[in-house]
C-alpha cells in the first residue's frame, strides 16, 4: 500500500511544477466538486427558464436553446452537461484518492459512507437529466432503466410497459421528470453538507484561479463541442447507434450484453463493498485519543477551534476552577493527530515544573517530546546546526539526520507548539529550525499545515514569539517520496544560517501560563 501511495503521490507531483502545491487540483478535488455543482445549478436554472414540460415541447425547447441561441442557451446546455461529467470525474478521483491514502476508516467512516451514498445521488440526478431531453438517447435510457428495474421483484406490472408505444408517455410524465431533476440535486446538496459536516473549516470552494481555470476549460469545450440532442424520441423505433455519455451511462450496455440481474449484482455488490470498506480494511489496534488535563486547562477554546474533525466540544466547567469552559474529546471523532496539543497555551517547553499540557496525546506526551528535543539538541555539532521537526505522514525527516542535523517526527506537524522552535533556538543550542509536513493543501489531517503556517506567521494562537528570527526558521512541505524537496529546504536553511552570527538569543527564564 505504501508503494501505491508513493506512486500516486508522484503522479500528483507531476502537477506541482505548473500549478504549485497550493493550486494543485488533486489537493482540491472535493472543493472542485462543489464548484462544478454550482456551475450545474446556475446553468440548470437558465435552461429551466426556457424548458417546457411536454412530450414534444421538452425536445423542442432543448433544441431551440441549442440552435436558436447557441451562444447563450447552447453554451449553458453544454456547461450543464460537461460540469455534470466533471463531477463524475472529480468524484471518482476523490474517492480513489481517499482509498489509496487510507482516508476511510476510524473517525473518517462517516464521510466515506455518505460519500458512497452521494455517488448514487449524482448518478440518479445525471441519468434523470438525460431523460428530460426526450430524444432517442432519453428513450434508450428510459426503456433500459425500466427494463433494468423490472428485474427486481418490486412492481406488480413491468415498468417498461410505460414505454411500449408513442402515446404511452404523457406531458405529466415529463413534468415528473423535471420535478425529480430539481428534488435530487437538492437532496445531493443536503448530503454534501452532511458529508463535510464533521470537518472543521471544510473547503467548499477551490482557490479562485483553480475555479477560473476549470470554468474556462468547460467554456472552451462548450464552444468547441456543444452538447447536441439525438433525434426526437419515437417509441415505434429502436435506437440503434447512440452517442452515450459514458461518464453516466457506462453500465447501460451491460444490461444487454450481460443481463439486468448481472448489472444489479455488479452495481449493488460494488456499492455494498464500498460501504463495507471502512470496516473490512480497518487497521489493527487504535492509537490513543487526546486527553484533557483540567488542572492545566483554562478553557481558552483554541483546541476546540483548531480540531480538524470537530472532535472537541466545550462544556461548562463544574470543578470550581475560575474558568467557564472545559474541552471534552469525543473519542469516536478524534484522529489522534495532536493538532489540539499544538494549539494549547499550556504546551510550553520552558516550564521547569509540571510539564503537562491542557490536552495531550497519551502516547506522545509533551514531556517526552521535550526530552527527545533536549537529547537531539545536545548531540548537534557543526557550523549550521539544524533541528528538524517533521510529520509521520510526510517525508520521513529522520533520514536527514547527521552530525549537524537532528530530527524528530510528530503525528502531525500541527502538533508542534511554536514555543518548541523558540526552545530549540534559545542559548544557541541549534542555529536553525526546519519545520516539515505533508504537501501544502494535502495535510493528512487537513489543517495541520494551515494552522502551523498561521502560527509561525504570528496570525494564529499560539503565535511564534517575536524574538525568534525569521531567517533561522524554514518550512518544507514534502510528501513521503519528496526527498529532493526536503533536502533542498534543509540546504537552503543551512546556507542561510551559515551567514548569520552564532548566538540567536538567550533564555529569559521560566514562562508560565499567561492566564495564571
Q: Which of 51, 131, 140, 304 binds other proteins (CB under 8 A)?
A: 140
Q: Does 360 bind other proteins (CB under 8 A)?
A: no
Is the Cβ of residue 25 or residue 299 nearer to other proteins in the bound state?
A: 25
Burial 49-81 (b: 16+ CB within 10 A, else e): ebbbbbbeebbebbbebbeeeeeebbbbbbbbb
Q: Does 457 bind other proteins (CB under 8 A)?
A: no
Rg over alpha carbons for the chain, rounded to the nearest Å, is 28
Q: Does 20 bind other proteins (CB under 8 A)?
A: yes
Of 12-20, 62-70, 297-305, 454-462, which part binds other proteins (CB under 8 A)?
12-20
Q: Does 150 bind other proteins (CB under 8 A)?
A: yes
Q: Which of 71, 183, 256, 323 binds other proteins (CB under 8 A)?
A: 256
- Measure the CA–CA gap between 296 and 299, rounded to whole angstroms: 9
Q: Tell me how far CA of residue 302 lies from CA of 213, 314, 324, 364, in angstroms.
A: 36, 10, 14, 19
The minimum distance between CB 247 and other proteins, in angstroms, equals 6
Is the Cβ of residue 1 or residue 240 nearer to other proteins in the bound state?
A: 240
Q: Which residue has the cell 420535478?
A: 179
Q: Which of 10, 67, 161, 515 binds other proteins (CB under 8 A)?
A: 161
Q: Where are the beta strands (DSSP E) in 371-483?
A: 386-391, 405-410, 432-437, 473-477
Residue 421 grid coordinates = 522552535
Q: Does 18 bind other proteins (CB under 8 A)?
A: yes
Q: Which of 1, 2, 3, 17 binds other proteins (CB under 8 A)?
A: 17
Is the Cβ of residue 25 or residue 308 nearer to other proteins in the bound state?
A: 25
**DSSP assignments along 141-192, one per residue:** HHHHHHHHHTTSTT-SS-GGGGGSSGGG--HHHHHHHHHHHHHHHHHHHHHH
Of 215-223, 466-474, 475-483, 494-502, which part binds other proteins (CB under 8 A)?
215-223
Judge whether 416 and 390 are in contact, CB under 8 Å.
no
Q: Tell me how far CA of residue 503 lies from CA of 383, 431, 435, in angstroms.
A: 12, 8, 20
Is the Cβ of residue 20 or residue 362 nearer to other proteins in the bound state?
A: 20
- Measure the CA–CA gap between 455 and 461, rounded to whole angstroms: 6
The minimum distance between CB 81 and other proteins, in angstroms, equals 6
Residue 32 grid coordinates = 472542485
- Measure the CA–CA gap between 264 and 148, rounded to whole angstroms: 8
Judge whether 425 and 501 are in contact, CB under 8 Å.
no
Is the Cβ of residue 85 or residue 482 nearer to other proteins in the bound state?
A: 85
Q: Which of 243, 293, 383, 484 binds other proteins (CB under 8 A)?
A: 243
Q: Which of 102, 106, 253, 294 binds other proteins (CB under 8 A)?
A: 253
Q: Does 89 bind other proteins (CB under 8 A)?
A: yes
The minimum distance between CB 275 and other proteins, in angstroms, equals 27
- Measure the CA–CA gap between 30 and 455, rounded to whole angstroms: 26
Judge whether 435 and 416 are in contact, CB under 8 Å.
yes
- DSSP-assigned beta bridge partners for residue 475: 435
Q: Does 258 bind other proteins (CB under 8 A)?
A: no
Q: Does 154 bind other proteins (CB under 8 A)?
A: no
- Measure the CA–CA gap between 44 and 126, rounded to whole angstroms: 12
- Count other Cβ atoms within 10 Å, centred on residue 104: 22
Q: Which of 86, 126, 207, 345 binds other proteins (CB under 8 A)?
A: 86
Of 222-230, 384-392, 433-441, 479-487, which part binds other proteins (CB under 8 A)?
222-230
**Residues contacting other proteins: total by CB under 8 A:** 47
Kindly list the residues in this chain that would bind other proteins in the complex (CB under 8 A).
15, 17-20, 25, 81-82, 85-86, 89, 140, 147, 150, 156-158, 160-161, 164-165, 213-214, 216-218, 220-221, 224-225, 227, 235-247, 252-253, 256
Amino acid at each position: 500500500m505504501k508503494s501505491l501511495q508513493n506512486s500516486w503521490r508522484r503522479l500528483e507531483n507531476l502537477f506541482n511544477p505548473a500549478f504549485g502545491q497550493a493550486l494543485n487540483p488533486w489537493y482540491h478535488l472535493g472543493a472542485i466538486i462543489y464548484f462544478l455543482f454550482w456551475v450545474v445549478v446556475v446553468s440548470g436554472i437558465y435552461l429551466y427558464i426556457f424548458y417546457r414540460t411536454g412530450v414534444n415541447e421538452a425536445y423542442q425547447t432543448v433544441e431551440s436553446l441549442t440552435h436558436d441561441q447557441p451562444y447563450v442557451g447552447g453554451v449553458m446546455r453544454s456547461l450543464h452537461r460537461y460540469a455534470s461529467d466533471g463531477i463524475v470525474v472529480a468524484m471518482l478521483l476523490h474517492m480513489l484518492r481517499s482509498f489509496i491514502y487510507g482516508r476511510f476508516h476510524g473517525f473518517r467512516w462517516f464521510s466515506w459512507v455518505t460519500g458512497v451514498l452521494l455517488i448514487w445521488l449524482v448518478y440518479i440526478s445525471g441519468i434523470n437529466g438525460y431523460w428530460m431531453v426526450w430524444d432517442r438517447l432519453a428513450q434508450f435510457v428510459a426503456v433500459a432503466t425500466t427494463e433494468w428495474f423490472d428485474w427486481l421483484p418490486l412492481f406488480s406490472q413491468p415498468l417498461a410497459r410505460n414505454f411500449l408505444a408513442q402515446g404511452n408517455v404523457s406531458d405529466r410524465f415529463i413534468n415528473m421528470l423535471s420535478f425529480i431533476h430539481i428534488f435530487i440535486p437538492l437532496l445531493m446538496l443536503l448530503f454534501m453538507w452532511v458529508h463535510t459536516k464533521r470537518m472543521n473549516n471544510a473547503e467548499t470552494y477551490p482557490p479562485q484561479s483553480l475555479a477560473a481555470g476549470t470554468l474556462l476549460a468547460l467554456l472552451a469545450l462548450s464552444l468547441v463541442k456543444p452538447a447536441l440532442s439525438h433525434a426526437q424520441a419515437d417509441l415505434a423505433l429502436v435506437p440503434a447507434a447512440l452517442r452515450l455519455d459514458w461518464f453516466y451511462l457506462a453500465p447501460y450496455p451491460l444490461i444487454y450484453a450481460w443481463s439486468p440481474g448481472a448489472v444489479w449484482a455488479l452495481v449493488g455488490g460494488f456499492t455494498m463493498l464500498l460501504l463495507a470498506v471502512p470496516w473490512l480494511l480497518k487497521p489493527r489496534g487504535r492509537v490513543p485519543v487526546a486527553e484533557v488535563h483540567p488542572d492545566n486547562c483554562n478553557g481558552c477554546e483554541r483546541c476546540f477551534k483548531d480540531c480538524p474533525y470537530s472532535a472537541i466540544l466545550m462544556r461548562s466547567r463544574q470543578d470550581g476552577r475560575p474558568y467557564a469552559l472545559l474541552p471534552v474529546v469525543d473519542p469516536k471523532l478524534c484522529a489522534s493527530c495532536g493538532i489540539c496539543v499544538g494549539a494549547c497555551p499550556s504546551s510550553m517547553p520552558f516550564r521547569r515544573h509540571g510539564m503537562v499540557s491542557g490536552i495531550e496525546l497519551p502516547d506522545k506526551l509533551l514531556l517526552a517530546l521535550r526530552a527527545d528535543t533536549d537529547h537531539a539538541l545536545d548531540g548537534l555539532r557543526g557550523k549550521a546546526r539544524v533541528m528538524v521537526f517533521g510529520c509521520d505522514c510526510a517525508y520521513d525527516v529522520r533520514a536527514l539526520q547527521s552530525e549537524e542535523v537532528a530530527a524528530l517526527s510528530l503525528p502531525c506537524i500541527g502538533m508542534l507548539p511554536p514555543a518548541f522552535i523558540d526552545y530549540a533556538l534559545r542559548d544557541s543550542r541549534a542555529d536553525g529550525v526546519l519545520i516539515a509536513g505533508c504537501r501544502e493543501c494535502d495535510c493528512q489531517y487537513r489543517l495541520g499545515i494551515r494552522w502551523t503556517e498561521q502560527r509561525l506567521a504570528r496570525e494564529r494562537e499560539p503565535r511564534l514569539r517575536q524574538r525568534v528570527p525569521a531567517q533561522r526558521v524554514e518550512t518544507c512541505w514534502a510528501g513521503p517520496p519528496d526527498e529532493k524537496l526536503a533536502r533542498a529546504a534543509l540546504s537552503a536553511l543551512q546556507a542561510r544560517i551559515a551567514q548569520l552570527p552564532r548566538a540567536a538569543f538567550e533564555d529569559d527564564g521560566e514562562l508560565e501560563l499567561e492566564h495564571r
